[in-house]
């Protein structure tokens, strides 16, 4: 059973999207949907590719139902094998199982993330508990777990290769930590809880998405003060899409809210947009999420206590790098005082500018971004919109290809349109080969533009992962963003933060493409480690090689001036108080939610009390307020684990210092080889702590993070 299928409850909840304009094929009324289209083995070049051009939503439900039935039959056959359990007849047979359902979930991911419709969301809501029940039937199959346990405890285990031993442990641990050891009523209750959680995780996500779609702020031409022309054009296009020609739409998403709060001179509108955004899921209406949060926390707490844990966070962190909540809290609470101290400095700088202008205001949360931009210009003479003129999406893509060639020996060649099916005309595909010998590595799909029916943000995913144990399978990786496509023939200009995000998500794709593991499950990851590789790749955006060749003015073609680059670098730690504090507040509240008795908990009151105890600055709010904190409440991928970004940040800062000290800097060939060999290609075949030590020669040091953020380092 592949690693994706073991976590399908998370996949179901975390890949929701909203929209109503995506088109899907509908079969003729007299043709019965069988699910065969979505389950069929992939045909065509490159070892077979998904038939994205033939997706039929009517096939999804029957495909899921048949896929689950077939997978359970495969599992039952493994469990009923009369031969003594071995690595080959139990563990490897599980790795082979579930292929048909795996293919269905590739299409599910496209509908949920890239082409959502109300019809899809109805299917999603209906199928989520059924998929959870299916998962429970596997993890609670007593005969199957007995065979896995027998292999785990056998003498054969000692003879296996280290990666095979880790494979057995990962499978055993997944079953043991998900109810396989329970009996009788406890086992049934565990499955019932999972089923209910799948329902309400999905409902939570859909409530947030409904508020993102349902609350749009429309402006007229007199209310555009301070907004860059490119943003105004995008807002006009957004209004036109919603049949509001001549107006300007500020959508209820971060990609729209953030630049509006940064540039708009209309303070009352900034407050309105701010309140609308941070009230998602908290409007005391049909989409309010507070009651769902309480139920989610109570069910999670009850479930882990069936397994003997004191609280949910203890269970969640046991097999992660942090190991326990105390270690995660120690890291966050060490950084917190420096972060809020920096916020006080930032607010003082902003208040001084507001006072000098005679604004007659006290800095409020909806003022922070606006006056931070003024401070940036005053302190560093750095205009974000000026920088944007040198950040062309196509050129940045070329820059990423350059970095991939230098570090990973990858070459990217466009695939002719029509050769590989795509799910939307915006999507383009590249073949990835080894630059040194031309050998095929995989394909890379890019879906860069926003549209109705596509979830917000940026993400990376795989349609097929690397494996070799049953014949080599090459990687099909994808990056997805939400940039606003400009007029035909015009370059798409993006912000510095968006450029960093582009590199970040490409780092995930490179992680997928670099895989050299033999078995599907080893392509998984440890949550507080897997963000590290992608965070590290952001550092190459500021290397001289990228700056000199790819950051060129969209009109003149002139390279970005040295003095502007110097300003960007000088301002690199600017506003770290804001970014660190808004993130840490969310991570700390997440950990408190999952280490507290949640009986009868009032989420809004709990959030306010927790932030007050932390001394949260009044000028900032959590990056993700609880009623729309999808990372932790629309699934379990980041629940009690939002700290993981900072844990990975420590690794990132420490690894960056290794490159900065290398003879060849960020393009040092010897260190790049160690990076690929120890941190990218092994995926989850090696314990993350051991992998990092193999790269660095020691454990990561937290002081590197403090230096990286410009915070005081004790003892230095």
Return d(Cα 515, Cα 32) in angstroms, integer.
Answer: 40
Distance CA 398, CA 389 (A): 17
Q: Which CATH architecture has domain 3-209?
A: Orthogonal Bundle (1.10)
Q: Residue 525: pLDDT band by 50, 70, 90 thresholds?
A: confident
Contact 119, 22 (CB under 8 A): no
First to last CA, the chain: 50
Query: For residue 8, is pLDDT > 50?
Result: no
698: exposed, middle or buried (C-beta count within 10 Å: 0-12, 13-18, 19+)? exposed
Using pLDDT thresholds of 50, 70 and 90, give the confidence band for residue 637: confident
Prediction pTM value? 0.88
Residue 247 is predicted with a pLDDT of 97
- Res. 69: pLDDT tops 80: yes
Q: What is the mean pLDDT of residues 179-186?
A: 93
What average pLDDT does the segment 408-423 reach? 97
Residue 11 has pLDDT above 70, yes or no: no
452 has a pLDDT exceeding 80:
no
Residue 714: the pLDDT is 80
Domain spans of the chain?
Answer: 3-209, 215-278
Nearest-angstrom CA–CA distance, 95 and 89: 10
pLDDT value at position 5? 42
What integer best gives the mean pLDDT of the chain? 92
- Per-residue pLDDT tens digits for 15-41: 333 233 333 333 344 457 888 999 999
**CA dihedral over 200, 201, 205, 208, signed as positive or negative:** positive
Distance (Å, whole) CA 221 – CA 399: 37
């Amino acid at each position: 059973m592949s690693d994706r299928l073991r976590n399908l409850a998370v996949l179901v909840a975390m890949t929701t999207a909203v929209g109503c304009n995506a088109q899907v094929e509908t079969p003729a009324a007299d043709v019965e949907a069988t699910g065969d289209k979505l389950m069929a083995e992939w045909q065509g070049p490159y070892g077979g590719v998904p038939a994205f051009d033939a997706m039929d939503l009517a096939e999804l439900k029957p495909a899921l139902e048949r896929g689950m039935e077939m997978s359970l039959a495969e599992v039952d056959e493994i469990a009923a094998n009369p031969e003594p359990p071995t690595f080959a007849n139990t563990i490897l047979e599980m790795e082979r199982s579930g292929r048909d359902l795996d293919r269905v979930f590739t299409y599910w991911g496209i509908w949920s993330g890239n082409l959502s419709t109300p019809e899809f969301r109805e299917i999603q809501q209906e199928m989520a508990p059924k998929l959870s029940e299916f998962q429970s039937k596997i993890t609670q199959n007593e005969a199957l777990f007995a065979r896995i346990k027998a292999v785990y405890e056998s003498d054969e285990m000692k003879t296996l290769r280290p990666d095979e031993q880790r494979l057995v442990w990962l499978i055993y641990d997944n079953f043991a930590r998900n109810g396989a050891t329970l009996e009788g009523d406890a086992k049934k209750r565990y499955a019932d809880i999972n089923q209910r959680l799948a329902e309400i995780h999905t409902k939570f996500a859909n409530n947030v998405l409904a508020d993102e779609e349902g609350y749009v702020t429309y402006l007229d031409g007199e209310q555009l003060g301070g907004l860059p022309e490119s943003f105004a054009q995008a807002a006009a296009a957004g209004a036109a899409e919603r049949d509001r020609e001549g107006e300007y739409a500020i959508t209820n998403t971060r990609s729209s809210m953030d630049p509006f709060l940064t540039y708009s001179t209309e303070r009352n509108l900034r407050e309105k947009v701010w309140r609308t955004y941070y009230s998602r899921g908290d409007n005391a209406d049909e989409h309010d999420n507070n009651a769902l949060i309480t139920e989610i926390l109570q069910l999670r707490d009850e479930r882990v206590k069936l397994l003997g844990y004191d609280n949910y966070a203890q269970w969640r962190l046991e097999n992660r790098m942090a190991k326990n909540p105390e270690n995660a809290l120690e890291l966050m609470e060490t950084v917190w005082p420096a972060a809020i101290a920096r916020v006080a400095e930032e607010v003082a700088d902003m208040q001084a500018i507001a006072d000098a202008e005679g604004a007659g205001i006290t800095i409020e949360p909806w003022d922070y971004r606006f006056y931070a931009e003024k401070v940036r210009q005053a302190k560093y003479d750095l205009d974000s919109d000026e920088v944007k003129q040198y950040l062309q999406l196509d050129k940045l893509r070329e820059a990423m290809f350059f970095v991939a060639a230098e570090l990973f020996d990858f070459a990217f060649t466009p695939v002719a349109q029509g050769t590989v099916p795509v799910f939307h005309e915006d999507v383009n595909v590249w073949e990835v080969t080894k630059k040194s010998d031309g050998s095929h590595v995989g394909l890379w799909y890019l879906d860069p533009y926003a549209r109705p029916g596509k979830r917000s943000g940026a993400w990376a995913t795989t349609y097929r992962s690397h494996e070799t144990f049953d014949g080599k399978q090459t990687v099909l990786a994808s990056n997805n963003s939400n940039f606003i496509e400009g007029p035909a023939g015009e370059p798409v200009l993006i912000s510095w933060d968006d450029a960093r995000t582009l590199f970040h998500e490409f780092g995930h794709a490179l992680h997928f493409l670099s895989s050299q593991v033999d078995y599907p499950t080893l392509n998984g990851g440890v949550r507080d480690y897997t963000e590290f590789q992608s965070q590290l790749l952001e550092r190459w955006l500021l290397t001289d090689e990228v700056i000199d060749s790819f950051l060129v003015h969209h009109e003149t073609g002139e390279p970005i001036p040295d003095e502007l680059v110097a300003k960007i670098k000088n301002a690199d730690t600017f506003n770290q108080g804001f970014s660190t504090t808004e993130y840490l507040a969310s991570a700390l509240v997440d950990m408190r939610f999952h280490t507290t008795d949640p009986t009868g908990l009032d989420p809004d009151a709990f959030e306010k009390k927790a932030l007050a105890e932390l001394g949260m600055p009044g000028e900032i709010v959590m990056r993700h307020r609880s009623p729309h904190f999808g990372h932790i409440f629309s699934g379990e991928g980041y629940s009690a684990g939002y700290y993981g970004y900072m844990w990975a940040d420590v690794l990132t800062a420490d690894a960056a210092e290794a490159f900065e000290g290398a003879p060849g800097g960020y393009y040092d060939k010897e260190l790049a080889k160690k990076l690929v060999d120890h941190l990218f290609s092994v995926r989850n075949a090696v314990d993350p702590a051991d992998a990092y030590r193999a790269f660095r020669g020691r454990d990561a040091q937290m002081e590197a993070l403090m230096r990286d953020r410009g915070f005081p380092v004790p003892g230095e």
